């Protein structure tokens, strides 16, 4: 069996791995690290949860340490592109963890937060820069960043980048990179157009692939219940009452659907946070922190917002609404059953969602176990508590726990930076898929200005 010592990684990296208690490399690490150590390009077909971040960052950090030199002003030695702010922040955190016994600097830049601090952070240059594409290009346009000294380029979650409409941004980035560099390309799925994009970036790559989608789906206990759309709230209450839930991620197709679920839960005195593209950066961070730490057991999310989020101990994924793209379903249920743990995915299927289930079964080559509506369900529907009234932009601050925690984070971070709205193409892009029924009509309110803090780590 391969161990981390077999890779010949720099001693400071091995120390960090020991500190993190990693003993055995994951399959993607076993496959990816040796060719990357030799400087090869890599095409990785793997999704979050497989250990791919360590798979690409360990050999890259090794390279940066083996050929030490200061980054050029406004430049970076390693550039990682990720589709969402959350994933970018998570990758940066991993790089900081793996590089904690080194002097390497790690910065993240993404939209939705003021750009000036990011400009200052980059002025001296950084070793590792993790960015979302839109803000990266903004910084380049403002001459705060140049890419001509990039030695290692990583494109993460390429399929998600395409879905979010980042293709033109990526092509622009590709033109700005120096021709001599190492390229790493990751995607959970590899349909033709993604393979085409990979070709543009990669030079004679080694291809590695782990956990094909069917395998991921097989690890999760999947259940489906057929229920009318308007009765899903009652079913959710029942599931939350009867299932032994450590942490549950509840998925809706739209941002407004997510807010609605949260309001219904609140109406019944159940605390839950929502995470989606209409939330400010501070709200998203607060919600994730509360969910990670176990303060809040329920997180209601849209697909885009939840992509790449790595939270261990998610016992249940509840598909309050069924995605119309089977791959999204695979991504969703992949949030549970991490690292061999038992996971349960429960899908609430309305009559008009039945065709989606057939597509999902075809793609995952699995069949979910049907679960009947509970006895006395009509009674439950009748007795369902009323949803909480939505908080207005100005009122209700003190009563909404997500808002309260956000206020606390803001105070801690030193007041309210004048948030700028992140470009639509970033983070929020791709959300708000067509709303299917009038019942999802957007409601105003609840979300303040976009605020947040730039992360500079390392």
Please compute Rg for the chain using Cα positions: 22
Binding mask 288-327 for ligand AMP (x = CB under 6 A): ----------------------x-----------------
The piece of 47-55, 73-81, 172-180, 390-398 that touches ligand AMP (CB under 6 A) is: 47-55
Q: Which is nearer to ligand AMP, 22 or 226 (CB)?
A: 22
| CB 90, min distance to ligand AMP, A | 7
Q: State which of residues 10, 40, 52, 74 lies at the interface with ligand AMP (CB under 6 A).
A: 52
Q: Which is nearer to ligand AMP, 24 or 404 (CB)?
A: 24
For residue 62, what are the contacts with CB-CB under 8 A and spacing of at least 6?
Answer: 9, 10, 13, 37
The piece of 8-16, 49-57, 142-150, 423-431 that touches ligand AMP (CB under 6 A) is: 49-57
Q: State which of residues 31, 48, 169, 347 lies at the interface with ligand AMP (CB under 6 A).
A: 48
Q: What is the token pair recorded at 166?
A: 């980042």
Q: Quote the CA–CA distance of 211 and 234 in Å, as a whole number.
A: 35
| CB 6, min distance to ligand AMP, A | 13
Q: Quote the CA–CA distance of 421 and 293 in Å, as a whole number.
A: 28
Strand order in the sheet with 220-226: 273-275, 298-301, 248-251, 316-319, 343-349, 220-226, 369-370
Question: What is the number of helices (H) and of strands (E) in the chain?
Answer: 18, 15
| Residue 22 interacts with ligand AMP (CB under 6 A): yes or no | yes
| Residue 402 interacts with ligand AMP (CB under 6 A): yes or no | no
The piece of 44-52, 161-169, 351-359, 434-442 that touches ligand AMP (CB under 6 A) is: 44-52
The strand ranges marked E within 365-416 are: 369-370
| CB 134, min distance to ligand AMP, A | 22
| Residue 101 interacts with ligand AMP (CB under 6 A): yes or no | no
Q: How many residues bind ligand AMP (CB under 6 A)?
A: 13
| Residue 96 interacts with ligand AMP (CB under 6 A): yes or no | no
The CB-nearest residue to ligand AMP is 53
Q: State which of residues 31, 50, 222, 319 lies at the interface with ligand AMP (CB under 6 A).
A: 50
Do residues 252 and 302 make contact, with C-beta atoms less than 8 angstroms apart?
yes
Instruction: List helix spans (H) across 205-344.
Output: 213-219, 232-242, 255-267, 281-293, 303-306, 326-333
| Residue 53 interacts with ligand AMP (CB under 6 A): yes or no | yes
| Residue 25 interacts with ligand AMP (CB under 6 A): yes or no | yes
Per DSSP, 414 falls in state: T
| CB 94, min distance to ligand AMP, A | 7
Q: Quote the CA–CA distance of 193 and 172 in Å, as a whole number.
A: 17
CA torsion angle 295 298 300 304 (round to 10) = 70
| Residue 257 interacts with ligand AMP (CB under 6 A): yes or no | no
Instruction: Give the SS3 label for residue 221.
Output: strand
Q: Quote the CA–CA distance of 98 and 78 in Å, as a whole number.
A: 15
Which residues of the chain form contacts with ligand AMP (CB under 6 A)?
22, 24-26, 29, 48-54, 310
């Amino acid at each position: 069996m391969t161990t981390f010592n077999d890779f010949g990684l720099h001693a400071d990296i091995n120390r960090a791995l020991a500190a993190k208690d990693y003993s055995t490399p994951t399959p993607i690490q076993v496959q990816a690290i040796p060719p990357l150590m030799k400087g090869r390009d890599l095409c990785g077909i793997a999704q979050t949860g497989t250990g791919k971040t360590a798979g690409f960052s360990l050999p890259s950090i090794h390279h940066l340490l083996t050929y030490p030199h200061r980054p050029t002003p406004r430049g970076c030695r390693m550039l990682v592109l990720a589709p969402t702010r959350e994933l970018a922040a998570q990758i940066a955190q991993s790089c900081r963890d793996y590089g904690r016994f080194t002097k390497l600097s790690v910065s993240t830049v993404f939209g939705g937060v003021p750009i000036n601090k990011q400009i200052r952070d980059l002025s001296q240059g950084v070793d590792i820069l993790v960015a979302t594409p839109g803000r990266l290009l903004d910084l380049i346009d403002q001459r705060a960043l140049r890419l001509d000294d990039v030695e290692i380029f990583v494109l993460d979650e390429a399929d998600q980048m395409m879905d979010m409409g980042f293709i033109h941004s990526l092509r622009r980035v590709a033109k700005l990179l120096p021709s001599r560099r190492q390229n790493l390309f990751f995607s959970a799925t590899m349909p033709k157009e993604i393979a085409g994009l990979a070709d543009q970036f990669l030079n004679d790559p080694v291809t590695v692939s782990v956990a094909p989608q069917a395998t991921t789906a097989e690890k999760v206990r999947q259940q489906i219940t057929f229920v009318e759309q308007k009765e899903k709230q009652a079913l959710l209450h029942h599931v939350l009452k009867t299932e032994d839930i450590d942490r549950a991620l509840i998925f809706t197709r739209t941002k407004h659907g997510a807010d609605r679920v949260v309001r219904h839960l609140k109406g019944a005195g159940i605390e839950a946070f929502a995470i989606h593209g209409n939330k400010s950066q501070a709200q998203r961070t607060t919600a994730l922190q509360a969910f990670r730490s176990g303060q809040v057991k329920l997180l209601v999310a849209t697909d885009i917002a939840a992509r790449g989020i790595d939270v261990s101990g998610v016992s249940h994924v509840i598909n309050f609404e069924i995605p119309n793209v089977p791959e999204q379903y695979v991504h969703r249920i992949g949030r549970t059953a991490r690292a061999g743990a038992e996971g349960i995915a429960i899908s609430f299927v309305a009559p008009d969602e039945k065709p989606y289930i057939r597509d999902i079964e075809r793609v995952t080559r699995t069949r979910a176990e049907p679960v009947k509506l509970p006895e006395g369900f009509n009674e439950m529907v009748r007795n369902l508590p009323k949803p909480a009234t939505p908080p207005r932009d100005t009122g209700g601050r003190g009563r909404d726990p997500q808002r309260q925690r956000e206020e606390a984070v803001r105070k801690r971070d030193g007041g309210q930076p004048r948030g700028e709205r992140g470009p639509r193409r970033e983070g929020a892009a791709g959300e708000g898929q067509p709303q299917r029924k009038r019942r999802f009509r957007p409601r105003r309110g609840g979300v303040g200005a976009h605020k947040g803090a730039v992360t500079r780590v390392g």
